[in-house]
A = this chain, B = another copy of it.
Amino acid sequence: MSKRQMIIGMHLGNGYGSQPGAWRMAGVDPRSYTSFDAKVRQAKAAERGKFQFLFLPDGPSQVVDVDEEAPNFNLDVMLTLAAVARETSRIGLVATGSTTFNEPYNLARQFKALDLMSHGRAGWNAVTSSGEDVAANYGQRLPSSAKRYGRAHETVQLVQALWGSWGQDAWVHDQTSGRFANREKIAPINLHGDFVASRGPLYIPPSEQGQPVIFHAGGSPNAHELAGRYASAVIGASFTIEDARAQRTAFRNAAERAGRDPDEIKYIPGLMTTIATDRRAALDRRIAMTERLFPQRVNYLQQMLGVRLDSTRLDRPLSREQLAAASPSPRDPRSAHALAIAREGWSLRDVLAHGVIDYHPVIVGPAIEAADHMQAWFEAGAADGFWISPDVYEDGIDAFVDGVVPILQERGLFHRDYEGTTLRDHLGAPAQYGLDPRVSR
């Protein structure tokens, strides 16, 4: 029996990397935001590292302060992946597509076309979207969670039914007999829900993996139910092993309730990395990128630790009195880790440079620290893999690929090459074409 190995995805965002200051770093092309060449190079770097997939989040809205920061997202996730599909050969291509703000027919068509284009490497991160700013771009208020998830269930079912509407061997294309397709193996779907409907058929034959793989991202019980029925993988956000394990269990249980084998759903939390030869070099790299934001982050760190801190004295470690008085806030799961770092005696600047207030767990240090973190979570049943958000494209990807990947491979925790050609192969996801007959409607 081969040992269970981890899945690694890479966050492909605005073209610069996950840190707000990444776009200013030396060696970074400041035009990467609009450069499809840059995105293709970054995808190739991840493919060199044998990553199973790229993950492209999507709002869409412009929420950051663009005076100083790049917008968070790709110009358009599907067009980016179209370029990447043509210029890579193995890595999976997972784009976020909102079930709330898209027509099911349009989603079905574009994702299945991407699946054909990439020869079976497409995945759809089906999310319900959040944020009034996103809804406003569609002239709407954000519907309630119940309504969004209601529509999401219908939308995923419609999309999968449309994907299956051209039967798997319907496309004959036999020039001699003149038979193009077998009409008897093509059927409209005629699905009508409370929120969405479509007749079909969608005129696209199967890809090398049949149809795209469903991903989901969300943390509520509604999210567990949706993913439990349809998703092969979950894009997660957990700060601790305990939380990750609980999330993973919740998704696995939901899959079982839907009549599936819990191993069919992979829980993949995020991990941000700044890899350098040693901790000091890595901290300095982070400081160069994000120090500008530290004064406001000090304010937030105060709340996490429950003590007053002085943002004008970033050079100093927390005093003995501050450390004694500090206690981690129960309202922020990152607080205990932040306090532990502070207790190691780092200056306030270095505490913040450790990424203690970032969106995901952060490794700032040598490659082996990232490998150790990943191994610990993986072996504790907290993760089936990770989606990596490198601090800066492109050398942040290379540092991970050349540093962390070989250690994981050496330890037998990560594959040395792709086992197959499709995203289903990479994830070990079972074959599926059309709706999953085990999942009740």
The residues of A with any CB-CB pair to B shorter than 8 Å are: 21, 23-24, 28, 30-31, 33-34, 36, 60-62, 65-71, 73, 75-76, 78-79, 82-83, 86-87, 101-103, 105-106, 109-110, 112-114, 116-117, 133, 136-140, 171, 173-175, 178-183, 186, 192, 196-205, 292
Q: Is the CB of A36 within 8 A of B66?
A: no
Q: Is the CB of B73 within 8 A of A203?
A: yes
Instruction: State A103–B105 Cα separation when bound (angstroms).
Output: 13
Cβ 8 A contact of A203, one of B71, B140, B192: B71
**Which B residues are in CB contact (< 8 Å) with A114?**
76, 79
Identify the interface centre among A33, A137, A173: most chain B CB within 10 Å of its CB: A137
Instruction: State A328–B86 Cα separation when bound (angstroms).
Output: 51
Known: A23-B173, A139-B197, A180-B66. A117 touches B78 (CB 8 A): no
Q: Is the CB of B60 within 8 A of A175?
A: no
Cβ 8 A contact of A67, one of B139, B182, B204: B182
Instruction: State A75–B87 Cα separation when bound (angstroms).
Output: 19
Q: Is the CB of B82 within 8 A of A203?
A: no
Known: A178-B292, A180-B23, A199-B139. A116 touches B66 (CB 8 A): no
Known: A116-B34, A199-B137. A69 touches B23 (CB 8 A): no
Chain B: CB-nearest residue to A292: B178
Q: Is the CB of A76 within 8 A of B203?
A: no
Expressed in whole angstroms, the minimum distance between the Cβ of A426 and any Cβ of chain B is 21
Question: Can you spell out 27 A-B residue pairs with CB atoms less than 8 angstroms apart?
Answer: A21-B178, A23-B173, A30-B175, A34-B116, A60-B109, A61-B203, A62-B186, A66-B180, A67-B180, A68-B178, A68-B180, A70-B180, A71-B203, A75-B116, A75-B117, A76-B114, A79-B110, A79-B114, A79-B117, A82-B82, A86-B87, A102-B103, A102-B106, A137-B199, A137-B200, A138-B197, A139-B196
Instruction: State A311–B397 Cα separation when bound (angstroms).
Output: 68
**Which B residues are in CB contact (< 8 Å) with A175?**
23-24, 28, 30
Q: Is the CB of A113 within 8 A of B79?
A: yes
Chain B: CB-nearest residue to A188: B136
Instruction: State A70–B82 Cα separation when bound (angstroms).
Output: 23
Instruction: State A182–B140 Cα separation when bound (angstroms).
Output: 27
Q: Is the CB of A68 within 8 A of B179?
A: yes
Q: Is the CB of B34 within 8 A of A205?
A: yes
**Which B residues are in CB contact (< 8 Å) with A200?**
137
Expressed in whole angstroms, the minimum distance between the Cβ of A310 and any Cβ of chain B is 25
**Which B residues are in CB contact (< 8 Å) with A116?**
34, 36, 75
Chain B: CB-nearest residue to A72: B203
**Which B residues are in CB contact (< 8 Å) with A109?**
60, 75-76
Q: Is the CB of B203 within 8 A of A62?
A: yes
Q: Is the CB of B192 within 8 A of A139?
A: yes
Known: A103-B102, A105-B137, A173-B30. A179 touches B79 (CB 8 A): no
**Which B residues are in CB contact (< 8 Å) with A30?**
173-175
**Which B residues are in CB contact (< 8 Å) with A67?**
179-183
Expressed in whole angstroms, the minimum distance between the Cβ of A97 and any Cβ of chain B is 10
Expressed in whole angstroms, the minimum distance between the Cβ of A398 and any Cβ of chain B is 20
Instruction: State A414–B57 Cα separation when bound (angstroms).
Output: 45
